């Protein structure tokens, strides 16, 4: 019995990062890595049916992969629903209901013009929200992102307009400034031991003060409407060949990656998606992509800002799910001590996520400044922070860490901006908009808490 207990403890320690990583990645829309780490561990000798050294057979239990691949995949899906809930389905349903309600109340809501404006409006806040997702995944919070976004816009405008620096160089310095601010806050938290809430709250005040100093007595700096930064939100791709070709390329890339993953998992004897489901997902993606291109093309074309944002979301999701560093971030969200015992450099990962958050906050700030063609206090106000955190949480990222995806930021910011756009079309006053957005956020947090409590009752946490 001592031998068996020792084996079980070893298995629990070894699989901590994998289990946490799998738990988080299941929430991604393209969760191809579902249960991959768990299954890899389960094929080890400690869970095999071969006799142990004491002559006993160790039961494989529910973790044993069924003989049939279709049955194995069905079992994996059932485990996923049991352990992680419905994933992004509730958020997608909420978005569909939101759009249906506002379209019924105002026929202009789903017009090409309004959807194009909506697609550009989500980018600034969405960029900041993607950075927030990285911090939330490790169970922490960054309250300085709103001020950092405003600081990046003010720094760019001050360097470009006041000092005559080339736009591209001012953009690089502004983004590096956000990364440096994030590194300072991450170091203070990870190495010195200052709580993240406190250090980022201090950062909120400090960076906001620096922003106001750079803006000067006028509290705003206007820059060229024809320059590099202004082009970020004013450029559209109207060529039908280019935009439809891009939609076809993205769809084909998804199909090829999915097929590759299926072959890899099948060769390893792991549960994999049936080929029919891969084709169904590809068809759904094609419908969404070509419909979006068609609708946006009826106004001015595909916005450059939206294209960049989608690229950042896809790259961040692949980075989190397909790289060793991303798995370390997800493992840390499941438990710092378990991650540390598994060889994760906890301090380095903590510092790095705050650098990512600061960098994306700066990028988001530049997109917001581009939308206004000026740097002002509006870029760094408190509503940006509130909306960015709300977008991440409403989209499905857990406040407790270990569960979430950059796609959460996209879905969440779509819901928030859709509510704002719809109520603006209906002439609803801003105070009512705030109350409704707050109610949606509260509902999302309650759902997150109930999900976590259910997971604890099943022994998942």
pLDDT in tens, 198-242: 999 999 999 999 999 999 888 889 998 888 999 999 999 988 888
For 107, 127, 134, the CA distances from 122, given in Å and listed in that order, are 21, 8, 18
What whole-number distance in Å separates Cα of residue 124 and Cα of residue 379?
Answer: 9
What whole-number distance in Å separates Cα of residue 391 and Cα of residue 415?
Answer: 8
Rounded to 5°, angle at Cα 134 from 132 and 136: 70
Structure-token pair, residue 157:
């405008």
Lowest-pLDDT range, 43-52, 155-164, 262-271? Answer: 43-52
Structure-token pair, residue 207:
């960076």
What whole-number distance in Å separates Cα of residue 353 and Cα of residue 140?
Answer: 10
Q: In terms of residues, how long is the chain?
A: 461
Q: Which pLDDT belongs to residue 13? A: 40
Q: Which pLDDT belongs to residue 321? A: 87
Residue-wise DSSP of 432-460: HHHHHHHHHHHHHHHHHHHHHHHHHHTT-
Question: Is the pLDDT confidence value at 253 over 60?
Answer: yes
Question: Is the pLDDT confidence value at 394 over 70?
Answer: yes
Q: Spell 214-234 as b/e; 16+ CB within 10 A means b.
A: bbeeeebbebeeebbbbebbb
Q: How confident is the model at residue 6 (pLDDT cuts 50, 70, 90)?
A: very low
Question: Is the pLDDT confidence value at 35 over 80?
Answer: no
Q: Which pLDDT belongs to residue 68? A: 54
Mean pLDDT of 417-426: 91
Question: Is the pLDDT confidence value at 330 over 70?
Answer: yes
Rounded to 5°, angle at Cα 170 from 166 and 176: 150
Say if CB 302 and CB 296 are below 8 A apart: yes
pLDDT in tens, 78-114: 555 455 555 677 888 889 999 999 999 999 999 999 9
What whole-number distance in Å separates Cα of residue 373 and Cα of residue 220?
Answer: 10
């Amino acid at each position: 019995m001592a031998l068996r207990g020792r084996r079980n403890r070893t298995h629990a320690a070894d699989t901590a990062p994998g289990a946490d990583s799998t738990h988080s990645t299941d929430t991604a829309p393209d969760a191809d890595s579902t249960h991959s780490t768990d299954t890899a561990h389960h094929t080890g000798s400690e869970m095999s049916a071969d006799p142990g050294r004491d002559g006993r057979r160790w039961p494989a239990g529910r973790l044993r992969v069924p003989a049939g691949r279709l049955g194995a995949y069905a079992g994996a899906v059932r485990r996923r629903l049991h352990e992680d809930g419905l994933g992004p389905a509730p958020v997608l349903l909420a978005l569909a209901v939101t759009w249906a309600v506002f379209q019924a109340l105002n026929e202009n809501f789903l017009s090409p013009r309004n959807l194009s404006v909506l697609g550009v409006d989500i980018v600034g806040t969405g960029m900041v929200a993607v950075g927030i997702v990285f911090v939330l995944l490790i169970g922490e919070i960054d309250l300085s992102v709103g001020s950092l976004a405003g600081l990046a816009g003010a720094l760019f405008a001050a360097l470009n307009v006041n000092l005559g620096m080339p736009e591209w160089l001012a953009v690089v310095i502004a983004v590096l400034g956000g990364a440096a601010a994030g590194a300072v806050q991450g170091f203070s938290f990870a190495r010195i031991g200052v709580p993240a809430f406190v250090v980022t709250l201090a950062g909120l005040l400090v960076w906001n003060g620096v922003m106001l100093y750079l803006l000067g007595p006028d509290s705003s700096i206007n820059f060229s409407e024809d320059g590099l930064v202004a082009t970020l939100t004013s450029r559209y791709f109207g060529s039908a060949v280019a935009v439809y070709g891009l939609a076809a390329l993205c769809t084909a890339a998804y199909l090829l990656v999915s097929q590759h993953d299926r072959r890899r998992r099948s060769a390893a004897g792991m549960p994999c998606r049936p080929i029919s489901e891969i084709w169904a997902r590809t068809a759904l993606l094609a419908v969404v992509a070509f419909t979006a291109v068609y609708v946006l093309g009826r106004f001015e074309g595909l916005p450059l800002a939206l294209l960049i944002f989608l690229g950042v979301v896809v790259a961040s999701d692949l980075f989190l799910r397909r790289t060793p560093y991303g798995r370390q971030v997800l493992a840390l969200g499941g438990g710092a001590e378990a991650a540390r015992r598994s060889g994760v450099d906890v301090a380095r990962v903590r510092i790095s996520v705050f650098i990512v958050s600061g960098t994306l906050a700066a990028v988001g700030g530049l997109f917001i400044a581009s939308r206004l063609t000026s740097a002002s206090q509006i870029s760094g106000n408190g509503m940006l922070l509130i909306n960015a955190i709300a977008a991440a949480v409403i989209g499905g990222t857990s406040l407790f860490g270990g569960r979430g995806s950059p796609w959460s930021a996209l879905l969440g910011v779509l819901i928030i901006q859709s509510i704002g756009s719809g109520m603006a079309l209906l002439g609803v006053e801003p105070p009512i908009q705030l109350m409704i957005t707050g109610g949606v956020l509260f509902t999302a947090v309650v759902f997150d808490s109930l999900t976590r409590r259910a997971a604890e009752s099943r022994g998942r946490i």
